[in-house]
Structure 1
């Protein structure tokens, strides 16, 4: 309907709503900003709010003429808000409950503040919900990740009906995708499998461009059913029961983490690219290719020369001798004596290669010769400066 002219749209809206609707309120769940803008541009002022029963309903709401994308508004009269050290929204006020019936030791109320269990950010008086505190997790490196924030980035893609982020305690994030089968351009049964992989890989790359390296998605799987309330995977509000999703899809999730690298082959030779590097670069496993001459990434201009003949392998600007048919790129990166001065490698990996914590020598390969024009001549003292 949004492709039609304004007059036709407004006529249809008045027919559906009765013609007198001027105000609306969205709360209790995420609503795409495009929906707010659609109604607001056609005479229906839809506001965004946040509330809970313990506060007798409303806690925040956007002022009528101050809609801000993803904001749930400002504090309503009678409500005082603060954000705790861990990001949790706390509130107090004359109509906020001071406890639960027959629960004298509840830790929800501390020092007069009601703790909502929701993580928020505040900017210029407006509040933005990030995730449920209980849903936020840390990866294997101790970095904090808010899954709902990442999952919401898939809302704009017609080919995705549902998405669930996995990564609690893991080295990297992956996702479960349930496709929108009503989209005629995305018929999983009849469309070429490579085209399907390319489609969803491109969607993930788009999402990754908005994320920090540690938040990025490295791998994914398309699931054959949507998440279900009957199976305990969704709450009555339609939000995830994350524990049950992880349990019910365990056999699908585990293969996503079986290897901490992607293996690329050319004949009998194998290159192993670590998943953490894919995350830093911002791509997914299926987008990395090696044609025997160079490693390239779909959708990106960067590539790395990797040409292998017998026991000699050219990587970027250097030629190495190698005692194995497997090149472990993770081990190579951890051994800076093998790549310092090799701009082909450092330009491909980006600046993260310089953030090594514990360098370790990679004994399987040795520098055979650098690129012509690069010198490793030993430094000799100048006798005149003794």
Structure 2
């Protein structure tokens, strides 16, 4: 069969998509690219339900593909929490549970049998598993052959009032550390030189088993060969209990000095309504300890603007925090009410206020980025070659994960080089080799 797979959402979702693509090809089906999507007999939608706009885009694709006579499979988070919406859009859409990516082949075989025998659709097929299976040590069709995305756990033990993902992925289940190390060791042997650790919250890893994230990072750092590890998002309230050990683990030469610490808001009243279990003095402690140990640290954060009953004063607290700590990257989202969450029943702000605040915060962030980029021009130091660009140049990373593109160098992924940053583009720096 001709199969087209489209994935939405986070890096964990992307990792699942890579595994499912490999499964499609391993079974002898033809995996189509976006340009050939119109030829598909089967459309796999690896869904995300974090934002309303994404949800609506997915429901449109599920409906329109079904109307064209294409067999539709919906995987990812949406089937766990919005099954009725999916089946309303397409009553014949088949369902693959978020934990059941290893059963895709089974589902494709059932669909193929129906098509070969000319049987009527007969309603949707649904395959699920209660525990996550097939996320590690399985073949992948990687989006980039030099980058391996390793999901280290499934689910979350906390309950932010706005978050639907907890309902979709369930309680925290950390994958065995020895399986993770084996998975990464195999990826490195296959030529991957950049490893992304991903989950709903990396710093929760091991809270249910005993082997915490710092220990896991030490185990990964012991794998031979040259590669770098990018640790994914970590919530302040789950970082704090392991802070000292985590800073020590980041001291490894194999770990990028990148701290992705979502605050969502700097207002304590908003954080309380969000059920975010941290105070801003804890955020300050975390950032201070990381910046004290690693002078050249990149700070990423996530912020939600326009959360229920957010006042002008609440928003200004967040803006002032951004100006003080100057993160290199801020993922800004306008609050989007999600079904089955506690915040769904809260009173929402006028959407025009959210739009205004989003624009204002984006403007502040752009000013900070511009200043930071100018400060980096002339910087000299060691970089790690991550991957080739579409233009045939190489994308390198500083120890703090800042992207530097080098042209005409002959460098290969996995190598180190000394460079000087000579200019800045909107999404990266330009550099040249130095002795």
Tell me the TM-score range normalised by the shorter chain: under 0.3
Structure with a larger share of its residues in helix: 2
Instruction: Give the TM-score, by structure 1 length.
Output: 0.26
Structure with a larger share of its residues in strand: 1
Specify the structure having the higher radius of gyration (Cα). 1
